[in-house]
């Protein structure tokens, strides 16, 4: 772990004009330290000022944001294999999740169909209940749906990681403000970009390599043939990760990307078991069903190789009945479980389906509320 002074050196060097990760590591290797590299930089490089680097560190510390260097024990091991791995990662939330033993990136169209969003949410929900950490980019459409599915899992306490193309303190798109807060509270929001960095087109391809590099596999749900989701899948493939795709109707442009990936050898996904078995095959492990997820440590509990079953919740039939227990002000989920007489998993899945239908929204304090008709398309 770097000292504060060394971390400020790193912040200066990586934020110096025309120095990216590859150049950063070459300079570090040549000169032995970031401080020495800064001293040796030719005048043509416009150095990032030390005072700005000091302010950056102070701002991060005052906002409970960790800045993790590549040699830190918390830095994700899966990212270290990338030639252009980010030297520094900003983390808001639980940094321990970065080295989860099982993880899946979920990517797809921003203008996703209702069915596409429901598919992404349900798969993320089931996989999170089976100890798979969901990673995505918090974009509109499939990304947001996947995060929501993960958050609803494990009795509404499921973790997920959002990789941003902005600073970790900048919410984009702005309508995901509540989702951002939920992810930060239950999981982690990460970025390689300095604080206050706004959304810039060149940032998102860089973000995608982190999404692909963090996970053991990448799932594509709806994507056109020229979408960034396919670039993410390509990056994952180049790094030896598993590729999964949900097939779609041949004349739907959003199905062209996944269908092409399947033709080229990606694993066809019809349900979460297809993903679980492939991930486990690649890791020579078996997943133990989670009977009482709240009482287990999701990411450090030993996994018994002798166990072979996976507990996949069935489609909820309680969705309609639950709406009778909801109102526009908000109802605690525990109260819904008590009054409905259903088990927590069935209630979580039913509420997830209602949110994907645009009928309810999550509120702070583990509450949900009906959405008034004139707010559905805000």
pLDDT in tens, 356-370: 888 898 888 888 999
pLDDT in tens, 145-201: 999 999 999 999 999 999 999 999 999 999 999 999 999 999 999 999 999 999 998
Contacts (Cβ under 8 Å, ≥6 apart) of 61: none
**What is the rounded CA–CA span in Å between residue 328 and residue 305?**
46
Least confident of 141-145, 218-222, 312-316: 312-316
CA 279 to chain centre: 17
Residue owning tokens 């779609």:
248
Rg (CA), the chain: 21
Whole-number percent of the chain with pLDDT over 90: 67
Query: Which H/E stretch holds residue 244?
Result: strand 242-246
**What is the rounded CA–CA span in Å between residue 35 and residue 264?**
47
Q: Domain 1-62 falls in which CATH fold?
A: DNA polymerase; domain 1 (1.10.150)
* Domain boundaries 319-375, CATH class: mainly alpha
pTM for the model: 0.84
Is 169 in a helix, a strand, or coil? coil
Q: Which of 24, 48, 49 is nearest to 37 (CA)?
A: 24
Query: Between the CA atoms of 270, 139, 279 and 192, what dihedral angle is there, to the nearest 10 degrees?
Result: 170
Q: Where are the domains of the chain?
A: 1-62, 96-295, 319-375
Return left, alpha or beta for 325; rule: phi > 0 is left, psi -120 to 50 is alpha, else beta: alpha
Q: At 284, is the pLDDT very low, low, confident or very high (cuts 50, 70, 90)?
A: very low
Contact present, 149 and 113 (Cβ < 8 Å)? no
The CATH label, of 1.20.58.1610, 3.40.50.620, 3.40.50.450, 3.40.1310.30, for the domain at 96-295 is 3.40.50.450
Contacts (Cβ under 8 Å, ≥6 apart) of 341: none
């Amino acid at each position: 772990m770097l000292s504060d002074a060394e971390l400020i050196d790193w912040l200066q060097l990586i934020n110096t004009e025309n120095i990216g990760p590859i150049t950063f590591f070459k300079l570090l290797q040549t000169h032995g330290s970031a401080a020495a590299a800064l001293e040796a930089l030719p005048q043509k490089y416009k150095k990032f000022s030390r005072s700005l680097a000091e302010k950056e560190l102070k701002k991060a510390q005052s906002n409970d944001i960790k800045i993790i260097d590549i040699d830190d024990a918390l830095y994700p091991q899966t990212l270290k294999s990338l030639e252009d791995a980010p030297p520094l990662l900003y983390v808001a939330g639980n940094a321990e999740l970065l080295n989860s033993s099982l993880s899946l990136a979920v990517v797809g169209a921003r203008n996703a169909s209702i069915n596409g969003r429901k598919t992404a949410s349900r798969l993320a929900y089931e996989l999170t209940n089976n100890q798979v950490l969901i990673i995505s980019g918090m974009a509109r459409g499939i990304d947001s749906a996947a995060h929501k599915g993960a958050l609803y899992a494990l009795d509404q306490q499921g973790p997920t990681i959002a990789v941003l193309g902005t600073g970790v303190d900048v919410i984009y798109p702005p309508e995901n403000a509540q989702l951002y807060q939920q992810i930060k509270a239950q999981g982690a929001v990460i970025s390689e970009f300095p604080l206050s960095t706004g959304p810039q087109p060149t940032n998102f391809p860089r973000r995608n390599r982190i999404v692909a590099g963090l996970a053991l596999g990448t799932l594509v749900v709806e994507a056109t043939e020229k979408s960034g989701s396919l670039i993410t899948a390509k990056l994952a493939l180049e790094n030896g990760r598993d590729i999964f795709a949900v097939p779609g109707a041949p004349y739907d442009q959003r199905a062209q990307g996944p269908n092409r990936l399947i033709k080229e050898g990606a694993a066809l996904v019809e349900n979460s078991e297809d993903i679980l078995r492939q991930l486990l095959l690649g890791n020579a492990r078996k997943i133990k069903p989670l009977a009482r997820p709240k009482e287990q440590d999701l990411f450090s509990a030993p996994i018994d190789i002798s166990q072979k079953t996976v507990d996949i919740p069935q489609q909820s039939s309680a969705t309609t009945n639950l709406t009778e227990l909801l109102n526009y002000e908000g109802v605690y989920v525990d109260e819904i479980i008590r009054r409905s007489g259903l088990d927590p998993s069935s209630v979580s899945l039913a509420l997830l389906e209602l949110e994907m239908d645009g009928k309810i929204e999550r509120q702070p304090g583990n509450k949900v509320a009906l959405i008034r008709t004139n707010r559905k398309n805000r």
